[in-house]
């Protein structure tokens, strides 16, 4: 009888290990373009304003099975940088303004914000607060910065202090 229990417990342990390995191997499903698309009635997760009422790039954060949309990359990053939201499993998307018109960003050109180049201080109009123009291409970002007197930042350069200082110095465009 003991032998039977021993074999059964070994088999059960093996099955549990296999199940654990399969569960660890599951990658999050890719986010569809349709789920990320910005619609005329979408409201910003932070400020509640209608997102498409403003020019410039927008932001979307995907995690825990839902999509949060923002009227600007700055609003999204301000939200994400809060300790309770700052998680590696949250995917961040912004419009590539090197491939989109400023007044009507194209949802087909959303890029990973973690790899984007952001131009701050360009003087371009956008949603409330600091305007961060987002690009997939470093040269396009550098050109905008040169042409407007702005500067290029990467995601790691952006923190709450920078967003707060820039907001305090820029006129509100809402």
Q: Are 63 and 91 in contact (CB under 8 A)?
A: yes
Asked whether residue 12 is domain-assigned, the answer is no
Furthest C-alpha separation in the chain: 82
Asked whether residue 133 is domain-assigned, the answer is yes
Asked whether residue 15 is domain-assigned, the answer is no
Distance CA 157, CA 46 (A): 21
Mean pLDDT of 58-78: 94
Q: Please give the tally of structural domains in the chain.
A: 1
Give residue-wise pLDDT tens across range 148-167.
Answer: 999 999 999 999 999 986 54
Helix, strand, or coil (residue 167):
helix
Mean pLDDT of 52-75: 95
- Enter the pTM of the model: 0.77
| Domain ranges, residue 130 | 33-169
Give residue-wise pLDDT tens across range 112-125.
Answer: 999 999 999 999 99
Asked whether residue 131 is domain-assigned, the answer is yes
Mean pLDDT of 71-86: 94
Asked whether residue 123 is domain-assigned, the answer is yes
Asked whether residue 44 is domain-assigned, the answer is yes
Asked whether residue 8 is domain-assigned, the answer is no
Asked whether residue 73 is domain-assigned, the answer is yes
Instruction: Compute CA distances 112 → 41, 92, 97, whole Å.
Output: 24, 6, 13
């Amino acid at each position: 009888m003991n032998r039977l229990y021993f074999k059964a417990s070994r088999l059960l342990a093996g099955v549990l290990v296999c199940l654990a390995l399969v569960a660890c191997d599951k990658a999050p499903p890719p986010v569809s373009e349709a789920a990320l698309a910005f619609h005329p009635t979408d409201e910003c997760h932070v400020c509640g304003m209608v997102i498409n009422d403003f020019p410039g790039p927008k932001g979307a954060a995907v995690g825990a099975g839902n999509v949060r949309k923002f009227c600007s990359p700055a609003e999204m990053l301000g939200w994400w940088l809060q300790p309770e939201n700052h998680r590696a499993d949250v995917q961040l998307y912004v419009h590539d303004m090197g491939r989109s018109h400023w007044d009507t960003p194209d949802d087909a050109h959303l890029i990973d914000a973690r790899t984007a180049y952001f131009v701050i201080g360009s003087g371009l109009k956008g949603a409330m607060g600091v305007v961060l123009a987002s690009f997939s291409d470093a040269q396009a970002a550098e050109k905008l910065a040169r042409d407007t007197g702005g500067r290029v930042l990467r995601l790691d350069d952006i923190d709450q202090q920078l967003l707060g200082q820039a907001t305090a110095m820029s006129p509100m465009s809402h």
